[in-house]
Amino acid sequence: MSKIGTAGFVNKSLKHNQLTAKKKYGQNFLIDQNILGRIVDVADISKKDAIIEIGPGLGSLTEVLCERAGYVLAYEIDSDLLEPLKENLIGFLNYKIINQDILKANIKQDIEQYLKGYDHVYVVANLPYYITTPIILGLLSQELNIQRYVMMMQLEVADRICGKPQTKDYNALSLMIQYKATANKVLKVPRTVFVPAPNVDSAVVRLDVYDVPPLKAKDDQVLYEVLRNCFIQRRKTLYNNLIVSYDKSFVDQMLKDLHISPSVRAEALDLADFISISDYITQKR
């Protein structure tokens, strides 16, 4: 069994390289072999698949990914981790570490350069929690050739991403993501399996991106704008949220034409309703 994903190893590796985990980069290293194995099982990877990992850290997840996948392309922002990471991955030849902020990377170009010819490209990552939402929305909105995402994140964010209508977790983020992919929370993870332990519990979410989305808005950007505007204040009615951003008489006419009650709350509407609002606005612009 590998030693990389254990508390002793992480502490030793940091100490040996005179490092401490950096809070500003969301560094909480996974130290549970069982959880590492389960994340990779959920991703359902074969040697014909290529993986993008965000934040390999000291390499505990990267090691398992290199064992199971054809190739691993990993983005790590912290240059101090590169040496220990490479040392820990000695023996593997099927990976490439890019020392870059994932939010600034040209992923389309990197997929083209490093991951051509694989059956699938999946993202598998224990995410830096401080940028979970920009990472996921950024990747999904770029229409990249990525079919699946298996990602560890803060439990509350996982609940929101997988939120269903009429529940407290349902919001603009649930809809933005479920517009592009099916979303399932597959594993709840306690804070005790990280070094250092974060202040929150975690969960693993699997997103399977639609080949052909069941519902399509005329303009994705208008849909995202509508979703944000409709959920500005959850307890307000749809009408009262909409008139903050759009002309009152326009909103009156639109809801009448679309047969949507002005007194309903956004959490009662489904994706098809939001798309009809979004398409109405797109057409009138």
Residue nearest to ligand SAM (CB): 55
Please report whether residue 107 would count as binding ligand SAM according to CB under 6 A. Answer: no
Looking at residue 111, the DSSP 8-state letter turns out to be H
Q: Helix H segments across the chain?
A: 7-16, 33-43, 60-68, 82-88, 107-114, 132-141, 155-161, 172-178, 220-230, 238-245, 248-257, 271-284
Looking at residue 59, the DSSP 8-state letter turns out to be S
Please report whether residue 132 would count as binding ligand SAM according to CB under 6 A. Answer: no
CA distance 131 to 216: 27
Q: Which is nearer to ligand SAM, 110 or 219 (CB)?
A: 110
Q: Which stretch binds ligand SAM (CB under 6 A): 52-60, 207-215, 262-270, 274-282?
A: 52-60
Q: Which is nearer to ligand SAM, 60 or 276 (CB)?
A: 60
Please report whether residue 103 would count as binding ligand SAM according to CB under 6 A. Answer: yes
CA distance 159 to 251: 31
Please report whether residue 9 would count as binding ligand SAM according to CB under 6 A. Answer: no
Which residues is 98 bridged to in the sheet? 75
Q: Which stretch binds ligand SAM (CB under 6 A): 41-49, 73-81, 166-174, 247-255?
A: 73-81
73, 84, 121, 128: which one binds ligand SAM (CB under 6 A):
128
Encoded tokens for 144: 């990249």
Distance in Å, CB of 195 to ligand SAM, minimum: 8
Please report whether residue 75 would count as binding ligand SAM according to CB under 6 A. Answer: yes
137-165 in b/e form (b: 16+ CB < 10 A) is eebbeeebebbbbbbbbbbebbbbbbbee
Q: Which is nearer to ligand SAM, 57 or 70 (CB)?
A: 57
**Collapsed DSSP state (helix, strand, coil) of residue 285:** coil
Binding site for ligand SAM (CB under 6 A): 25-30, 54-57, 60-61, 75-78, 81, 101-103, 126, 128, 131
